[in-house]
Structure 1
Amino acid sequence: MKFINYYEYNHKMFGYLIIDDQSLQDINTDEYNEYIRILFFPKASQVTVDFDEYNNDGPALFFVGPHQKVRIREADQQDAHFIYYNRDFYCIQIHDAEVACDGILFNNIYNLPRTLLSDNESLFAENLYVQIKEELIAKESSQEEMIRTYLKQLIIRATRAWKKQQLGKLNDEPAKEMEFFRDFSRLVEIHFRKKHGVADYADLLNMAPKTLSAKFNRLNLASPNEIIKDRIVLEAKRLLCYSKYNIKEIAYHLGYEDPAYFNRLFTSKTGLTPAFFKKNNHKTEKVQ
């Protein structure tokens, strides 16, 4: 039986691919760039997301949002898996109460898309991918909901693992502190183009700027100011590489009326001027 590797109905799209030589070429282009993507590597791999390279000695999951750039550099001799879906199929913002991953797996303040897996977690993930594949082949009634159920299990397990790996002492804090972390992450993702100061986000969170900074300092997390600036610079890199905007237009797009100030910020964070970065990294692809 031919493997039917996608589900599509009423603007909802969910697809699945085994990562092999043929599919790798497509995945490494922008063909799936508009989708939410989850990549599973049971063995060692080398993956680039945006401008960061990840060398994985063992099993790993990658959660990549729409318009992020992903490139698989190495995934030899293994059955690696790739699923992609749109927000109409499953929107983590709308269904946040179900999986609580927004601001953690996606849109997290560290810009870390990777979740490392133990052997047991890897077996669990492998089994979910097998069940998703079987569901796509069988095309039984309630297929959409079954696939979504497997997807949610994968997200929930990965969220738990990511928090243990990345959040350190925050895992020992009351649940409301974790929710605060997620709220700040989501607010930065929504507003970073227009709101650049700690006071802006403190106001949105109904607290004093000093209180906001103290929360991060107490848990040895990067300061809110650095987190905001890092997100701005990441977007600037994307636009410098993949858009036709000039540097002045990019500065305006990111909310800076004074391009010189934007230039200083970018240079201080990267050690390179925007012009130099654009000249050495510009691609023909586009971002929206």
Structure 2
Amino acid sequence: MPSTADHGQYVKVLYVKTGGQVTVDFKDYVLEHDSVFFINEGQFFKLNESCTGTMLYYNRDFYCVEMHDKEVACDGILFRNVYEIPVVWLNSDASAMMQSVFAEIKLEIEIGDSSVEEMLRLLLKQIIIRSTRIWKQEHHIAGEDARAEVEFLRTFSKMVDVHYSRCHTVAEYADMLNITPKALNKRITRYSSATPNEIIKNRIMLEAKRLLAHTPLSVKEVGYKLGYDDPNYFVRLFTSQSGISPLSFRQQYQLLPA
């Protein structure tokens, strides 16, 4: 698997063997286990030269599944998750199973008969279902109460992902959810190590870093795009959250090897 970086309009599923390093949106993952990454549209990723494995990619029209189980639908737990990059660590049995499914996908593409598209969709669904099960086990999510709370987290996650550029406060999201800010904080921190305010700010800072690293927009223009009319306030916020000024971040990132 060659070193690569991507920000196209596709969802990517990466099966990567132990020993490599994957970078997703400025965060490095040194792989001590085989793993599966789910990379959404607009996310930047890079694989170092030690990475081996398989990547498949698709657009949301191909897999946009309305299911009774929302956890594995096209916008399920593994997608648009503001809490962490969805990475699923695999034990030996799970890794062998995942390799088998990827091999079957490759075989179906080579066969290429009239039913190949539906078969590929079923195999992709299998990857997503199995990965979601592993993710839930890793995060100790079981029972209806826990499922309901995770669904609430997912709703909040999607809401932040849509509105982060104009809604910057916990109170705004609490109002959209028809609860108090205190209640929102209590529900989010039950299954997340980050508070709602931290989640909102982290999403804003992630987008700021993407724009600084991958577009020619000025620091002032980045701030405006993220809903900050006062450029000085945006610079102070970025510096406080990231430990480095926007301009220094851009210069530092551009000096990194491609």
TM-score by length of 2: 0.90
Q: Is 1:58 equivalent to 2:33 in the alignment?
A: yes
Cα deviation, residue 91, structure 1? 3.1
Match of 1:160 in 2: 133
Match of 1:223 in 2: 195
Using the alignment, how far apart are the partners of 2:213 and 2:36 within structure 1? 26
Contact 1:41 1:75 in 2 (8 A): no
Match of 1:127 in 2: 100
Cα deviation, residue 162, structure 1? 1.8
Using the alignment, how far apart are the partners of 2:242 and 2:192 within structure 1? 23
Structure 1: 5+ residue stretches without partners = 1-18, 284-288
Aligned residue pairs, count: 253
Q: Is 1:89 equivalent to 2:62 in the alignment?
A: yes
Using the alignment, how far apart are the partners of 2:105 and 2:49 within structure 1? 24
Cα deviation, residue 281, structure 1? 1.6
Contact 1:101 1:155 in 2 (8 A): no
RMSD: 2.1
Using the alignment, how far apart are the partners of 1:245 and 1:215 within structure 2? 37
Report SS of the residue matched to 2:48. Answer: strand
Alignment of 1:90-239 (within 5 A): 90-91=63-64, 97=70, 99-100=72-73, 102=75, 104-165=77-138, 167-168=139-140, 171=142, 173-219=145-191, 221-239=193-211
Structure 2: 5+ residue stretches without partners = none
Deviation >2 Å, runs of 4+:
94-98, 100-104, 170-175, 216-221
Match of 2:9 in 1: 34
Using the alignment, how far apart are the partners of 1:156 and 1:103 within structure 2? 10
Contact 2:72 2:128 in 1 (8 A): yes
Q: Is 1:261 equivalent to 2:233 in the alignment?
A: yes
Using the alignment, how far apart are the partners of 1:220 and 1:237 within structure 2? 23
Using the alignment, how far apart are the partners of 1:260 and 1:98 within structure 2? 41
Q: Is 1:72 equivalent to 2:44 in the alignment?
A: no
Contact 2:71 2:132 in 1 (8 A): no
Percent of paired sites with the same residue? 43
Residue by residue over 1:243-282, the C-alpha shift from the partner in whole angstroms, topping out at 9 and shown as x without a partner, is 1110111001001111122111111111101111112224
TM-score by length of 1: 0.81
Q: Match of 2:158, as an amino acid?
A: R
Residue by residue over 1:51-107, the C-alpha shift from the partner in whole angstroms, topping out at 9 and shown as x without a partner, is 00100112100111112111111435x5x1110111221236x66737147363221
